Each structure stands twice: as C-alpha cells, then as structure tokens.
Amino acid sequence: MYRNLRPFPLAAILAVSLTPILAISIVAISSARRPLDQPVAATVAQPLMAVHGRRPPAAPFDLLVTHGTVITMDSNRRIIEDGIVAIQGDSIAFVGANSDLPKGVTAKQTIDAKGALVLPGFINGHTHAPMTLLRGLKDDVTLDVWLKNYIFPAEAKNVTEDFVRWGTRLAAAEMIRGGVTTFVDMYYFEDALAEETKAAGMRGILGESWLDFPVPDNKNEAEAAAYTEKFLKRWQGDPLIHAAVAPHSIYLCSQKTLHDVQALAQKYHAPILIHVAEIRKELDDSLAQNHATPVQYMNRIGLLGPDIIAAHCVWVDETDRKLLAEKGVGCVHNPSSNMMLASGIAPVVEERAAGVAVGLGTDGPSGSNNDLNLMEEMDLAAKLQKIGKMDPRALGAKAVVEMATIEGAKAIHLEKEIGSLEAGKKADLSLINLNEPNAVPMYDVYSQLAYALKGSDVETVIIGGRLVMKDRKLLTLREDEILAKAREYGKRVAASLAH
C-alpha cells in the first residue's frame, strides 16, 4: 500500500535557486505536516535528493505526460490547466503545472496530452468479467429467473478455464478502451482470470466465487476451500492482483459457508466480495427467515467489516446505512444493472450522507448489463437519483466522477494506492480526447465527464506506469484474435442450449 502524499508546490521553490535552502525548506515544512517516519514524495526540482532518508527516483523519469488538463481528484480536487504528471516505475512522482518543471528534466518517454483530459483511471467496482461471452444470452427477465433458468444452466454446460481466459481477455479489451484501470470481479477459475488480468496489464481485486451447490470449477465446499486457499497464497504481494474470496450472497450461501469464507479471508488478509440487498425478494426472504434485513443479518453473524466490498446495497434502510458506515463496508452502485433487472433505485444520496463509501460498477456483462462502460454508469447514476427523487440536484456530475475514481477507490479499500493523481500513488491514468464534436465547448469538466464524453473518447491508458493503450491501439491484447474467439464461443453456447 502506498501513502497518500501530496507533492510540495514547486512555484515557490523555483523562486529560490540554492539547493541547500530548498532541502531545508522541504524538511521543515514536511515535518510540520506529517510524522517523521512517513516518506515525502520527491519533487521534480530535486530528483536526486534523498528526503527523510528515502532516496527518490533517479532522473530521468520513465514517463512524462505533459500539457494536458489534469483532473487530480485529490483532497482539494485540483484541476491543473497545462499540467504534467511525472512517472517513475509504477508510481506517480509529481503532479503539477508544466511551468513548474525546471529546465533540463528529461524522461525516457514523453506523451504530449495537449487537447486532452488527464485523469485517474476509472474503477469498475463490480463485474463478472468472463460473462462477456454470455452477452445478450437472455434479457428482459427478473434476476431469479435469469439466474436459475438461463445463466446457471449455460454456465454448467460451457464454463471452463479456457472460457474464462477468453472471456477475461474480451472484458479487459472493452474496459481498457473505456478508461477502466482497476476492476473487481466475482467468478470461477479465478486463478486463470488473474493470470489474464495481469497479462493485460490491468489491476484487479479478483474473488473466487463460493455457492452452496456445485459450480463449474468446484463441486463442493471442500474443493472450493482448497482452490481458494491456493489462489490466495499464489497472488499475495502481487503489484496488480489482489486475490479475494467471493461468497455470492446470503441467499445462496449458508451461515457456515459465510463463516468459512470469512476465516479464510482473514487468514490471508483478503477482501470479501458479496452481493448485498440487491432485490426486494432478498430483503423479504431475509426478514422472513432471519428476522433481519440482509445487512443486519450479516452484522449479527459477525460478517460486516472493512474487508467487505458489497455490490448493490439497494434495499437498505437507515439502520443498515449506519451499520455499513460504522463497519467500514464499501458499497458499489450498479445503476444499469438495477434498472435492467428492475431491482430498484439504490439510496446512493443517503448512503453517501451516512458516510458510506460508494463506488460504481457495471455488473454484467450479461443480462444485468450487457457492456462494461463505466462512463455510461456515471451518467446513469446521476440521472437515476434525480428521477428517483424528482430533484435535478439529487446527485451531481462531480459526485459521480468521484464515485468512478477516488470514492470508488475508498469503496474497494484501495484509496491509498489509486483513485487520484498524487505523488506516491500508483500511476494509473487515462487520457480523454477533447477534439470530438461531443466534447466542445467545455464549461465544466465534471459535467463534461458525466454527461457528454463517452468511453470511446478515451485514447490512451496507463496502468502502473505501463502503457496498455496508446492512441486507441491496445498494446497488451490481440484484439482481432479475441473477437474471433468470442464469436466462436457465441456459436458454442447457442448450440449447447438448443438441446
């Protein structure tokens, strides 16, 4: 985990030419702002100077992104016209104005972002990535009918490790093209999914699914436990992959299963991913069987905590919201899915007001939402709250951009690493082209992001300091091969259901 550090402003520094005075100033001011045991990010003006005993990155920088409009999403929500982001290794070394850059600073590679927005990579907080290969299989039915009559049977006949690999590649291509740099996934053969995610250069919190009946990769709980433990061990400490455990829900997992999952997650300090209070039937059934709402039941059995990433959180009352906030649970709002399945309108405004970190997810990409376009989710999240409350002020553009970036990072408990452009954080960012008819004129950048710009306007994506897409060309995936294989799988799945 990286500390959330802010670079010392260089405008004042450049007025002073003596390096010793510069060093004394930085140490003095840093000491007043933070404990001495916390490292301070090196600035561009002093790339070779050791600060508080930590040697900053040596010049030249690996990558400079220059002359863009930088949307930092930092605590001050700074927007820097003609800005620069300096990257060393997989982390951000400096964020500021191009005018702050001293002469002579070099980089191994420079991207001129003039005419583009430079912003943190989007965070897709809830997906089932390989289900891209089931896209459009069955739409316009309720969640329980969709799962039991169509999805579970189709998965039983078709989901293999090879299916998961190709579905993940297809999902990664779609998400990178839309500016998503981190995603949270719940599915099967998650170890293979992690391999493909890493190969694509994406960051992921990836959860092996547990249910109380046989699934494609594990036929019983003992197999699931063995597979999941091996998966958690393998990916510990990986810079891109955070292995997790994913019990589907309280209605498809017994209390014993939930406690077994929790014990395994705690053993490896892993996140727990779970669907929570998604539909009214889930609430009604929990009230009848558990004499408590889903959230209050989870709290009663000791499951709620800061390791939980809860998808949906639609049917939650005031007591639930207080519990979610008190326990540090992150919630992920999936507006397209909730609309498509008529699950309800999540009380996002009230959740945020209660102190719950709420991110955004696409869910799907089959039946509950047939794409992985997070920019569309920003647009719909705002509009769904407005129409639900009959108030155009209910949830604004800036709020949904926050939910796709820094608030989304908080919801998945990675805000110290990602979600904003700040020195010390991971270098996950995207460049969005403003030279398009739907991009001009621009009066308010948050409004433009939420309501006007599209995923197709993303032109360059960097994850962990690595270029994964440049000028709309994917660099880590063979797109033509992936599309051909997806079409082949489409024919296989259709044939399997015809019998």
pLDDT at 36: 28
pLDDT at 102: 80
Find out whether 244 and 205 touch, Cβ atoms under 8 Å.
yes
* Tokens 């391999």 -> residue: 195
What is the spatial distance between Cα 176 and Cα 383, in angstroms, rounded to a whole number? 25
Find out whether 427 and 90 touch, Cβ atoms under 8 Å.
yes
- All residues at 6 or more sequence positions from 104 whose CB lies less than 8 Å from its CB, including other chains: none
pLDDT at 499: 66
pLDDT at 82: 97
Chain CA centroid to CA 107, Å: 29
pLDDT at 35: 34
CA–CA–CA angle 178, 430, 184 (5° rounding): 55
- At 132, which amino acid appears? T
Q: Roughly how many angstroms between the first and final C-alpha of the chain, as a whole number?
A: 50
pLDDT at 61: 95
What is the spatial distance between Cα 396 and Cα 400, in angstroms, rounded to a whole number? 7
Q: Return the closest-CA partner of residue 232 out of 196, 259, 208, 197.
A: 208
Q: How many CB atoms lie within 10 A of CB 44?
A: 23
pLDDT at 147: 84
Output b/e per residue, 337-363; b: 16+ Cβ within 10 A. Answer: bbbbbebbebbbbebbebebbbbbbbb
Inter-axis angle of helices 190-200 and 221-234, to 10 degrees? 30
Signed CA dihedral, 246, 251, 257, 259: sign only: positive
What is the spatial distance between Cα 454 and Cα 225, in angstroms, rounded to a whole number? 41
How distant, in Å, are the alpha carbons of 5, 134, 260, 495 from that of 498? 57, 15, 38, 5
- At 415, which amino acid appears? E
Q: What is the pLDDT along the chain (499 residues), one digit of tens a residue?
A: 323 333 334 333 333 333 333 333 333 333 333 332 333 333 333 332 223 323 334 468 999 999 999 999 999 999 999 999 999 999 999 999 999 888 888 999 999 999 999 999 999 999 999 999 999 998 998 888 888 888 889 999 999 999 999 999 999 999 999 999 999 999 999 999 999 999 999 999 999 999 999 999 999 999 999 999 999 999 999 999 999 999 999 999 999 999 999 999 999 999 999 999 999 999 999 999 999 999 999 999 999 999 999 999 999 999 999 999 999 999 999 999 999 999 999 999 999 999 999 999 999 898 889 999 999 999 999 999 999 999 999 999 999 999 999 999 999 999 999 999 999 999 999 999 999 999 999 999 999 999 999 999 999 999 999 999 999 999 999 999 999 999 999 999 999 988 6
User: What is the biggest distance separating any 2 CA atoms in the chain, rounded to whole angstroms?
Assistant: 79
How distant, in Å, are the alpha carbons of 123, 370, 404, 414 from that of 450? 15, 20, 10, 23
How distant, in Å, are the alpha carbons of 201, 239, 346 from that of 475? 9, 19, 37
**Helix/strand/coil (H, E, C) string of the chain?**
CCCCCCCCCHHHHHCCCCHHHHHHHHHHHHHHHCCCCCCCCCCCCCCCCCECCECCCCCCEEEEEEEEEEECCCCCCCEEEEEEEEEECCEEEEEEEHHHCCCCCCEEEEEECCCEEEEECEEEEEECHHHHHHCCCCCCCCHHHHHHHHHHHHHHHHCCHHHHHHHHHHHHHHHHHCCEEEEEEEECCHHHHHHHHHHHCCEEEEEEEECCCCCCCCCCHHHHHHHHHHHHHHCCCCCCEEEEEEECCCCCCCHHHHHHHHHHHHHCCCCEEEEECCCHHHHHHHHHHHCCCHHHHHHHCCCCCCCEEEEECCCCCHHHHHHHHHCCCEEEECHHHHHHCCCCCCCHHHHHHCCCEEEECCCCCCCCCCCCCHHHHHHHHHHHHHHHHCCCCCCCHHHHHHHHCHHHHHHCCCCCCCCCCCCCCECCEEEEECCCHHHCCCCCHHHHHHHHCCHHHEEEEEECCEEEEECCEECCCCHHHHHHHHHHHHHHHHHHHCC
Six token digits for residue 402:
């926050």
Backbone angles phi, psi at 238, to 5 degrees: -70, 140
Whole-prediction pTM value?
0.88
Q: What is the CA radius of gyration of the chain?
A: 23
